[in-house]
Amino acid sequence: MKPAAPPKTYRVKSFGCQMNVYDGERMAELLGERGIAPAPEGEEADLVILNTCHIREKAAEKVYSDIGRLVKAGNKAGKAPMIAVAGCVAQAEGEEIMARAPAVSIVVGPQAYHRLPEMLDMAANGERATDTDMPAIAKFDALPVRRKRGPSAFLTVQEGCDKFCTYCVVPYTRGAEISRPFAHLIAEAQKLVETGACEITLLGQNVNAWSGEDDKGRSVGLAGLIHALARIDGLERIRYTTSHPNDMDEALIAAHGDVPKLMPYLHLPVQSGNDRVLKAMNRQHTAEGYLRLLEKFRAVRPDIALSGDFIVGFPGETEAEFEDTLSIVDEVRYAHAFSFKYSPRPGTPAATMDGQIAPEVMDERLQRLQSRIGQHQFGFNQASVGKTCQVLVERKGKLPGQWLGKSPWLQSVWFEGDYAIGDLVDVTLGEAGPNSLMGLVRARLTA
């Protein structure tokens, strides 16, 4: 590889989950520290970071076609960008990427991106750089302080997964479960609030498996962290995602009743409503156990909005087993949910199981499931009409004077008035649509 001029501008393209969004922001901050600026809209960047996702579908192929597109655009512009591949595809297939894509200068896994500055130096010297080590917590210590501006921020508190669901690649790409230390998280949250955040979403592949020692040396779980975060002045809203049913403890359930800043929303994936399928997925819980758990949340917070993830067409899933998934959706009446066609991931146990389901069967099941989820989401929105709540203003709408924000139940709410991003506006929820509601403004709370 020829030596290249050190990049002056960058673009980070993040795919996949919110943890990748967080990692993308942190990589941008690292580059900012080095005086590398975001490429202006519509201009080619000197450095492009593809922050990839490996969870479903032809992730690696997508990366290669993105690389091809970048090379082509670079040739046309007479200047090829420096290309870095980050994220979970980099972790899983780093060596292959280096072998197959000579245009790639850097391959960096999700636990190693704090080393990007050194890797950029190597690339500028014409050396190709790969780092897919998993040194647990070192990354966070090496990152610069947060600079995020904006009302809603992500904070990664936990990474990795020890659950080994048979369909899932995460335990292989993100490694074993680790929790960031309590004091670091409080400090990062304070910084986020100082720089304009009033809502923080705590992130982790198994966020409710977070554990640590609080400022008094007591062992605490996620509930202890949430109680401490709730004491930060200026932080108005706390959320967390994603959780596993088996890591839910009584303290976290109780926090939903005790901590007003903890929003009435819970994303708790179940994946299937059928116990044979759940067993084959190695979920280690039953449909009934999951429903009993949700009842406990509803008991302390009756208005809680529930959300989940579902997979259709897991190997061997029969029509009757799929119908159990429709039944659990009806029973829970989710306010929101994500659903996916099963995608065999290389190296996972389910990929080689008998009974792989035909694509057209998966398509048909996904459509039925999504339509059922959509009905419940619309129903939840309709049942919200007439409620009064605060909406956090996130962005301007298309029309002058129109704003879009989020209700405590994570619904998108439109309303009109003279506001600014980050305001908390008191509204009564009016007309409901399938994906959003209109808000009638009552009073302006913060400036």
Which residues are near ligand SF4 by CB under 6 A?
Answer: 161, 163-165, 168, 170-171, 205-206, 244
Nearer to ligand SF4, 17 or 404 (CB): 17
CA distance 389 to 271: 31
* Number of other residues whose CB lies within 10 A of the CB of residue 259: 15
What one-letter code names the amino acid at 346?
P
Nearer to ligand SF4, 309 or 364 (CB): 309
Residue 287: contacted member of ligand 5AD, ligand SF4, none (CB under 5 to 8 Å, by partner type): none
Q: Is position 309 an interface residue for ligand 5AD (rule: CB under 6 A)?
A: yes
Q: Is position 396 an interface residue for ligand 5AD (rule: CB under 6 A)?
A: no
CA distance 351 to 22: 29
Q: Is position 334 an interface residue for ligand 5AD (rule: CB under 6 A)?
A: no
| Least Å from the CB of residue 271 to ligand SF4 | 7
CA distance 206 to 252: 14
Q: What are phi and psi of 244, to 5 degrees?
A: -110, 135
Nearer to ligand 5AD, 62 or 184 (CB): 62
**Would residue 277 be called left, alpha or beta, if left means φ above 0 and alpha means ψ between -120 and 50 degrees?**
alpha
Nearer to ligand SF4, 362 or 393 (CB): 362
Cβ atoms of 293 and 328 within 8 Å: the answer is: no
- The C-alpha R_g of the chain, in whole angstroms, comes to 23
Nearer to ligand SF4, 201 or 206 (CB): 206
| Least Å from the CB of residue 256 to ligand 5AD | 21
Instruction: Give the single-character DSSP code of 53.
Output: -
Query: Two tokens at 424?
Result: 């908390």
The span of 2-10, 338-346, 359-367, 408-416 binding ligand 5AD (CB under 6 A) equals: 338-346
Cβ atoms of 274 and 285 within 8 Å: the answer is: no
Q: Is position 52 an interface residue for ligand 5AD (rule: CB under 6 A)?
A: no
Residue 345: contacted member of ligand 5AD, ligand SF4, none (CB under 5 to 8 Å, by partner type): ligand 5AD
Residue 140: contacted member of ligand SF4, ligand 5AD, none (CB under 5 to 8 Å, by partner type): none
3-class SS shares of the chain: helix, strand, coil, % to 5: 40, 25, 40
| Least Å from the CB of residue 316 to ligand SF4 | 18
For residue 193, give the H/E element and its range.
Answer: helix 182-194
| Footprint of ligand 5AD (CB under 6 A) | 55-56, 167-168, 269, 271, 309, 311, 340, 342-343, 345
